[in-house]
Amino acid sequence: MEDIRRVSDRVWRMLAAGYAGVRADEDVAVTVVQPDPRRAKALRSAAAALLGREVDAPHTYVELCPDPIAFAVEAGLPAPWALSDLEAVESTWHELAPVPEGPITSISRIASVAECVAADGARLVRVEYQTRFTSMTGDTVGLAVASGIRRDEAVA
Amino acid sequence: MSVSVGLTPGRTFEATTNFPADDDLCRWADGLSSLASVQGSWHSALLRMLVAAWLGPRARIERFSLRVPGSGLVEASLHLGAEVSEVTTTADGSARVRCGLWARSAGGQVVVEGDCEALIDPAGGPGLPIARLEAALRLGEVAGTFTYRIGLNDLEGFAAAIGAPMPSDGVAPPTYFGALDPVERRDIDLDAFLHDLPFPMTGGGNAFNAVEYERPFRAGDVITVRTRYTDVYEKRGSRGTLLFRVRVNEMRDADGALVATSRCGHVLGYRLPSEDS
């Protein structure tokens, strides 16, 4: 993947406006997921050690999709930058219903791409990824939304 | 306002985790997306699980938000916590609870921060009065200090009772650590409050015992035990609502050296009105 830290304004504007050609809300990536028993067990074991008691909590969407940006990119959405270059990552999980039994369909999309200029003149691009989870009956049961900011001092 | 599960603004929950020397973390990382931050995803999922446990079985978390202010840090230990910031009543009588969340390094640096909203299930009916129970048990404070002299005859009697060999060398059997529990010895009783609970009791008993020790007890030891209640929580069980009380006994010898720390859990079952059918 191209390193854009020293790219031209033209390329920067293209990324900011279209996020490497992906149009927000139009391109989606669909996968089928299920809670991983091994990871679920590890998490409950650690929580039990911290709490000093058994934890028999049901699965959560945070457990299913603990890094929503990585999840969406792995599902097939583009990320023209290394994810570690994103700053101020904020993730929100909306739990509309308990995590259902059986396969869960995830539909990821880039919800928005916005460019702005920081007070110090640096260009910023804010990208928001959104993944919707649906049950086998097609009901939306959860939502994971995450945004990250790419700051580019080099082209400021 | 206060809700039936005893959550009020300002109520704080905390836990400290050692990281990353942990087999659980390795199992977590196995199978995780290679793009994901192992540490960040672990903190997020672990904090979400802790919050659910802290808020109790009647709470349904509807929104959970986390921000990572800086780059990922590899820390030896982290303090994970939540503080109830707001409790409001919804139109249908439910309680909506908002909490601030954090993970901080030992030096106080914020690694993760955020907030969440949960709804307390009104169909659950009135729950156990956890806040009042915590006050009655003086949660977190020293509930009592007691001193016991261990005689050889004590150890012989104990060994005979459990079918262990007689301690001719004066060394107590490992299970003798449990014998110096002021609660089990009836030297302290903070449970009177339980008799006033307006719910039928369905059972109860010992839930768990654990001990970490520096050395065994020996005949002639004079041991001072300090007892603290450290946790009170409820869980839904197949036979009603279960009330757990956890206490820690710190046992020191006559020189003040720590000999052992035991952790004991006791459970009582209640049938709440909402569970009558």
For chain A, say whether B93 makes contact (Cβ under 8 Å): no
Give per-residue pLDDT as tens, A19-74.
545 555 566 888 999 998 888 888 888 888 888 777 878 899 999 999 999 899 88
- Flag the least confident range among A1-5, A90-94, B216-220: A1-5
Tell me how far apart the alpha carbons of residues B42 and A42 are, in angstroms, rounded to a whole number. 10
* Alpha-carbon distance A8 to nearest alpha carbon in chain B (angstroms): 27
Which of residues A24 and B96 earns the better pLDDT score?
Answer: B96
Contacts with A46 from chain B: Cβ below 8 Å: 17, 22, 24-25, 28, 46
Q: Mean pLDDT highest for which of A125-129, B45-49, B130-134, B223-227?
A: B223-227
Which of residues B40 and A66 earns the better pLDDT score?
Answer: A66
Whether residue A94 is predicted with pLDDT greater than 70 in this model: the reply is yes
Which of residues B6 and B66 earns the better pLDDT score?
Answer: B66
| Percent of all residues in chain A with a pLDDT value above 90, rounded to a whole number | 28
Whether residue B92 is predicted with pLDDT greater than 90 in this model: the reply is no
A68 membership: H or E segment, kind and range: helix A68-75
CB contact under 8 A, A39 and B53: no
Which of residues B22 and A32 earns the better pLDDT score?
Answer: A32
Which chain A residue's Cα is nearest to B80? A50
The mean predicted confidence, pLDDT, of chain B is: 84
Which of residues B252 and B235 earns the better pLDDT score?
Answer: B252
pLDDT of residue B164: 85
Contacts with B42 from chain A: Cβ below 8 Å: 66
The mean predicted confidence, pLDDT, of chain A is: 79
Whether residue A5 is predicted with pLDDT greater than 80 in this model: the reply is no
pLDDT of residue B276: 62
pLDDT of residue A59: 93
Whether residue B137 is predicted with pLDDT greater than 90 in this model: the reply is no
**For testing contact with chain A, the best of B25, B64, B116, B117 (most A CBs within 10 A):** B64
Between B17, B27, B66, which is nearest A42 by CB? B27
Which chain B residue's Cα is nearest to A43? B46
For chain A, say whether B260 makes contact (Cβ under 8 Å): no
Q: Can you give the pTM of this predicted structure?
A: 0.68
Rounded to an integer, the average pLDDT of B202-214 is 89
Whether residue B19 is predicted with pLDDT greater than 60 in this model: the reply is no
Rounded to an integer, the average pLDDT of A106-135 is 84
CB contact under 8 A, A39 and B32: yes
Rounded to an integer, the average pLDDT of B169-175 is 89
CB contact under 8 A, A62 and B16: no
Between A53, A67, A84, which is nearest B41 by CB? A67
Which of residues B56 and B31 earns the better pLDDT score?
Answer: B56
Whether residue B145 is predicted with pLDDT greater than 70 in this model: the reply is yes
Give per-residue pLDDT as tens, B46-83.
899 999 988 887 788 999 999 977 544 555 678 899 99
- Flag the least confident range among A7-21, B1-15, B155-169: A7-21
Q: β-pairing, B77-89 with B258-270?
A: unpaired
Residue A33 to residues A36, A55, A84, A107, B166, Cα–Cα distance (Å): 9, 23, 24, 11, 59
Tell me how far apart the alpha carbons of residues B190 and B187 are, in angstroms, rounded to a whole number. 10
Q: Are A4 and A11 in contact (CB under 8 A)?
A: yes
Whether residue B187 is predicted with pLDDT greater than 70 in this model: the reply is yes
Residues 100-159 on B with a CB inside 8 Å of A are 114
CB contact under 8 A, B65 and A70: no
* Alpha-carbon distance A82 to nearest alpha carbon in chain B (angstroms): 9
Which chain B residue's Cα is nearest to A42? B24
Residue A63: CB atoms within 10 Å = 24
| B48 residue type, one letter | R
Between B35, B41, B53, which is nearest A73 by CB? B35
As a 3-state breakdown, chain A gives helix, strand, coil percent values, each rounded to 5, of 30, 35, 40
CB neighbour list of residue A59: distance below 8 Å, 6 or more residues apart: A35, A40, A99
* Cis peptide bond upstream of B20, omega within 30: yes
Banded model confidence at residue A112, pLDDT cuts 50, 70, 90: confident
CB contact under 8 A, A52 and B263: yes
